[in-house]
Amino acid sequence: MQLLDGTACSQQIRQEIALEVEAIVAAGKRPPHLAAVLVGDDGASQNYVGMKVRDCEEVGFGSTTVRMKASTTEAELLAKIDELNSNDAIDGFIVQLPLPSQINENNVILAIDPKKDVDGFCPENVGNLSLGLPTFVSATPNGIMELLRRYEIETEGKHCVVLGRSNIVGTPIAVLMSRNTNPGNATVTLAHSRTKNLKALCASADILIVAIGRTEFVTADMVKDGAVVIDVGQTRVPDNTRKSGFRNVGDVDFEQVKDKCSYITFVTGGVGPMTRASLLQNTLKAYQRR
Ligand code: NAP
């Protein structure tokens, strides 16, 4: 079994980006700039935005955090998005999800200028992804593809089972893996909570990508010998032995499954850091396109 090391891979990507930023600045231009909108005071969201800002600093990007109170109305948030859309100093921005219940997430996504939609959630970018046109691929699927590419994992003609059909992970990764690209060219089955014979289906996968948010759901009997297993799941469970008071648990029972796999990601240092690196790649792309 070989561990797919998302931390090492993402560090490589950051170094590549940092070099590009150095060259941009040396040429007398301003560096790329990412803004993050944080509504409310959800601990996990604050954490994620904090990490994204630190990532920007590390590669030399500018960054802005827009903090809005939990009682922000949809109209107030849409007005802020308008401002960011027309602010020439900002190349791309994200609105950290989830949003408070009074705000309709779809209306927010629809309001973001697709050219600045570095999360790749807007219909135009999702449509371009499906058509194989230039786009911002949302960060997690992009990170998974990059991990497969950098480890030179053979995907052509393989059976890839994607477990979970969310708009931000399962559906786009299923599209990407089925496209005529490398990585890609896999025969893809997209499974979800209504899929029959899930265990047998998963056990038939050469490549199993799991994004369901159910802790340690994938057990050894669901994994074929020699399979590549990508665990996207990340659920916080209380853990008093940790300073933070919690730990992240994946959707795959790593200890049970690892020895059956040719390659596997671990919940820490796997898909998470690749997702963060992808946001930086998308921000650089947004800057270069302008
Ligand atoms: P989501 O919106 O939470 O949706 C879950 C999906 O899993 C749905 O399609 C659901 O099916 C399916 N599902 C749930 N229980 C199932 C079961 N017992 N059997 C089969 N399918 C089942 O998904 P998400 O936003 O992609 O998040 C999934 C996990 O990935 C979460 O743990 C999240 O924290 C993590 N995540 C991690 C990263 C990262 O950077 N590492 C990024 C994004 C998400 P139905 O559609 O039928 O309901």
**CATH assignment at residue 205:** 3.40.50.720
In a domain, 98, yes or no: yes
Q: Residue 141: pLDDT above 90?
A: yes
158 & 223 share domain: yes
153 & 84 share domain: no
Active site (annotated) includes residue 52: yes
Instruction: Indicate which residue of 119, 206, 231, 251 is catalytic.
Output: 119
Ligand 1 contact via 164 beta carbon (within 6 Å): yes
106 & 145 share domain: no
Ligand 1 contact via 193 beta carbon (within 6 Å): yes
Q: Which atom of ligand 1 is nearest to the CA of 143?
A: 40
Ligand 1 contact via 171 beta carbon (within 6 Å): no
Mutate to test the pocket of ligand 1, among 105, 106, 145, 166 (most ligand atoms within 8 A of CB): 166
What mean pLDDT is predicted for residues 224-245? 95
CA angle 120, 118, 149 (to 5 degrees): 75
145 & 91 share domain: no
258 & 169 share domain: yes
Active site (annotated) includes residue 288: no
Q: Are 4 and 264 in contact (CB under 8 A)?
A: yes
In a domain, 66, yes or no: yes
161 & 252 share domain: yes
253 & 150 share domain: yes
156 & 219 share domain: yes
pLDDT bucket at 77, cuts 50 / 70 / 90: very high
The residue contributing the CA closest to ligand 1 atom 34 is 234
Q: Which residue has the tokens 């919690």?
A: 246
- Distance CA(143)–CA(279), nearest Å, equals 9
In a domain, 125, yes or no: no
Q: Which residue has the tokens 């265990």?
A: 199
Q: Residue 153: pLDDT above 90?
A: yes
What single letter denotes the amino acid at residue 167?
N
What range defines the domain where residue 178 resides?
Answer: 139-272
77 & 178 share domain: no
For the chain, the straight-line distance linking the first and the last C-alpha, in angstroms and rounded, comes to 43
In a domain, 124, yes or no: no
23 CA to centre of ligand 1 in angstroms: 39
What single letter denotes the amino acid at residue 109?
I
DSSP bridge partners of 93: 35, 117
In a domain, 7, yes or no: no
CATH for 66: 3.40.50.10860
Tokens of 281: 């790649």
Tokens of 24: 């941009």
Residue ending a domain, among 78, 113, 148, is 113
Q: Would you state the pLDDT for residue 214?
A: 98
What mean pLDDT is predicted for residues 84-90? 98
Q: Would you state the pLDDT for residue 44?
A: 87
- Distance CA(115)–CA(132), nearest Å, equals 17
Mutate to test the pocket of ligand 1, among 106, 145, 212, 249 (most ligand atoms within 8 A of CB): 212
Residue ending a domain, among 95, 113, 131, is 113
What mean pLDDT is predicted for residues 161-186? 97
96 & 203 share domain: no
What mean pLDDT is predicted for residues 166-190? 97
20 CA to centre of ligand 1 in angstroms: 34
Instruction: Please give the sequence-ordered ranges of beta strands (E in DSSP) within 56-101, or none if there are none.
Output: 62-68, 92-95
Q: What is the DSSP letter of 104?
A: -
Q: What is the DSSP letter of 196?
A: S
In a domain, 123, yes or no: no
Q: 235-238 and 246-249: which strand pairing?
A: antiparallel
In a domain, 76, yes or no: yes
In a domain, 4, yes or no: no
Q: Residue 37: pLDDT above 90?
A: yes
Percent above pLDDT 70 for the chain: 100
What single letter denotes the amino acid at residue 95?
V
What mean pLDDT is predicted for residues 137-162? 98
The residue contributing the CA closest to ligand 1 atom 42 is 140
267 CA to centre of ligand 1 in angstroms: 14
148 & 223 share domain: yes
Q: Would you state the pLDDT for residue 39?
A: 98
Q: Are 67 and 38 in contact (CB under 8 A)?
A: yes
Residue ending a domain, among 113, 148, 182, is 113
Domain count, the chain: 2
Active site (annotated) includes residue 80: no
Strand order in the sheet with 159-163: 2-3, 261-264, 227-231, 207-210, 159-163, 187-191
241 & 143 share domain: yes
Q: Would you state the pLDDT for residue 119?
A: 96
Identify which of 138, 178, 131 has the alpha carbon closest to the alpha carbon of residue 156: 178
SS3 content of the chain, % helix, strand, coil (to 5): 45, 20, 40
CA-based Rg of the chain, rounded to a whole angstrom?
19
Q: Would you state the pLDDT for residue 290?
A: 87
Tokens of 33: 């700039």
